Amino acid sequence: MKRFSFIAHMPDAPGSLHRAAEIIKKYEGNINRIQYDRRIDPSTVFYEVTASDESFKKITHDLAKIGYLQTSLKPLNFLKFCLYLPHKPGALHDFLNFTTSAGANIAFIDFDDKGRHPDRLTVSLNLEQSSVVDELLDHLKSRYRLEIIEYDTTGKHLDDTVFYVRYAQEIRKLIGESEDEFLLSFLADANHIVQELMDRGNDPQKVFGSILATGQTLMATTGDKFSAEVQRVPLTESSNLLCFQLPCGGNIFLITTQDENIMIDTGYGIYNDDVMDMLSRFGFLDEQKISRIFITHADADHCGAAGFFSAPVFMHKDTLEIIKKNNRAYGSRSEHSVLEEFYTKMINLFSRFNTPKHAKCFTNPPVAMRGIFPVLGIVTIGDLELEILEGLGGHTCGQIYLYSQKSGLLFAGDSVINFSSLTKERADYSSLAAFLVTSVNVDSELAKKERKALLDLALETDANLVVAGRRCLVCGGHGAVSVLEGAKLSAHGPIERYLPHNA
């Protein structure tokens, strides 16, 4: 027995759901999930069933035979027109005979014999085939005075009576041309998280809107719309730190030395061309100048461009597993969350995730402890030595931190962020993820514990450096490189804005 999913497109009429259920029961299928809401789309129903391969084949065959199985998402034709009906009994009935025989779905109809136009009937129709449109118009024009208001074959003007078809066209704009089978699967997954969030009291339209807004915001911040905030911080006589805050998502850090340049996190894949143009302005003319890459965790905004680089990419073994399983909640108590799994698939798709080809994992047992964090090893970068600290799995399983007590550096991933330094646009984008998964941390209690321990570590490091007039630099996964002022993070040093040449 296996679990299958499919989408049914059935008449908005009494008995339709019952008829589909009878077919599923006939072949001993067990319905695990069903979701239908006529407020969203009056004809579309999402199913998940458990059945044998043979039984599912028979179920879908019988559903297709009666026209219930949805296997394509071709844009419907939209036709809006007005015609003038004669004042006689049965006039509307006669007109509707034509639309019904054409298989047209009436989305809008308006007639009032006491209105400004007492003879005029205004109608909007959704039709599947353009040939049917032509045939219908020929029939109507031969009998009525007819005025075409709008005729669209792109699907742009469909109304909410065919919500999922219209929504699929918006998704196509974000991911390019895709097979209908893939889009149907994506819609089924999107519908599943809508169902989950509706159960928690959320508006389904807000959920669908947030999914689209995530992809649309990414696309709207590339090319000449790309920008970044940049900090340049000297570390030692021979090493420097650069921090690049990308429009959406995580920071990219570069540590430059006389011998090599290493990158910490890569940003989204969709930004790779923009990032490489930006880095060339700072003296990194090609990706070959990056000798090593360290990934703090598996979220797409931190490692989604890693596959574009030829340099070896170092990460925790659980980070690699998350990438392979396409589920950011892998290894946590939230692993089976519908929200987490869909969000990972969605954001990896929208952001053009490029899997690293040269991943090297930290596999050795801990060599020491740094507070509550196991030390997985030490990496040398020029005259810097950074400890690799293993996180507890609060934000994601496998998140690591890089720390130097001597140099006063703490790369804290997404466990410590200077939220006050985020622009409104970045904060708004981050809120989309928080809404869709309810919490960006897969284990909130562990996340709180990690954050406190990291801030305590930064305070302790500050106390050791103060005699030398230096500070511990907290490099969060988002926002500005900061220092602690009391209990608050404050941006460190000047911040410059990068814009592409043609912006």
Tens digits of residue pLDDT in 94-150: 989 988 888 777 878 888 877 778 888 898 887 766 677 778 888 888 888 888 887
- Tell me what the mean pLDDT of segment 397-414 comes to: 97
Burial of 237 per CB tally in 10 Å (0-12, 13-18, 19+):
exposed
Evaluate whether 355 touches 338 at the Cβ level (below 8 Å). Answer: no
Residue 87: per-residue pLDDT? 82
Closest CA to 295 of 252, 350, 328: 252
* Domains, the chain: 2-65 (3.30.70.260), 77-152 (3.30.70.260), 163-219 (no CATH), 223-498 (3.60.15.10)
Q: pLDDT per residue over 222-281, tens digit each?
A: 999 999 999 999 998 889 999 999 999 899 999 999 889 999 999 999 999 999 999 999
Residue 158: per-residue pLDDT? 47
Q: Give the C-alpha separation, 265 to 356, whole Å.
A: 12
Burial of 501 per CB tally in 10 Å (0-12, 13-18, 19+):
exposed
Q: Give the C-alpha separation, 338 to 209, whole Å.
A: 18
Q: pLDDT per residue over 44-74, tens digit each?
A: 999 999 999 999 999 999 999 998 998 887 6
DSSP state of 263: E
pTM of the entire predicted model = 0.85
Residue 76: per-residue pLDDT? 65
Q: pLDDT per residue over 328-343, tens digit each?
A: 999 999 999 999 999 9
- Tell me what the mean pLDDT of segment 298-303 comes to: 98
Residue 503: per-residue pLDDT? 63
Locate 336 and state its tokens: 């089976």
Q: Give the C-alpha separation, 51 to 31, whole Å.
A: 9
Closest CA to 449 of 371, 388, 378: 371
Task: List, as own/partner pairs, every contact residues 198-201 make where C-beta atoms lie below 8 angstroms and the sequence separation is at least 24, other chains included.
Answer: 198/37, 200/438
| Max Cα distance, the chain (Å) | 98
Exposure on the CB side of residue 35, measured as CA atoms within 13 A: 22
- Span of 70-74, 88-92, 405-409 with lowest mean pLDDT: 70-74
Give CA torsion, residues 75, 76, 77, 81, to 10 deg: -130
Evaluate whether 124 touches 79 at the Cβ level (below 8 Å). Answer: yes
Residue 161: per-residue pLDDT? 54
Evaluate whether 195 touches 35 at the Cβ level (below 8 Å). Answer: yes
Burial of 38 per CB tally in 10 Å (0-12, 13-18, 19+):
exposed
Q: Residues of the chain with pLDDT > 70: what percent?
A: 96
Residue 425 has pLDDT above 90, yes or no: yes
Name 134's Cβ contacts closer than 8 Å, sequence gap at least 6: none
Q: What is the mean pLDDT of the chain?
A: 91
Q: pLDDT per residue over 145-166, tens digit each?
A: 888 887 776 655 545 556 887 7
Name 238's Cβ contacts closer than 8 Å, sequence gap at least 6: 257, 258, 382, 383
Locate 83 and state its tokens: 């015609």
Q: Residue 59: left (phi > 0), alpha (psi -120 to 50), or beta? A: alpha
Evaluate whether 339 touches 332 at the Cβ level (below 8 Å). Answer: no
- Other C-beta atoms within 10 Å of 195: how many? 18
Residue 15: per-residue pLDDT? 93
Residue 397: per-residue pLDDT? 97
SS3 of residue 423 by DSSP:
coil
E strands present in 69-188: 77-84, 105-110, 120-127, 145-152
Residue 354 has pLDDT above 50, yes or no: yes
Q: Give the C-alpha separation, 34 to 352, whole Å.
A: 31
Q: pLDDT band for position 443 (50/70/90)? A: very high
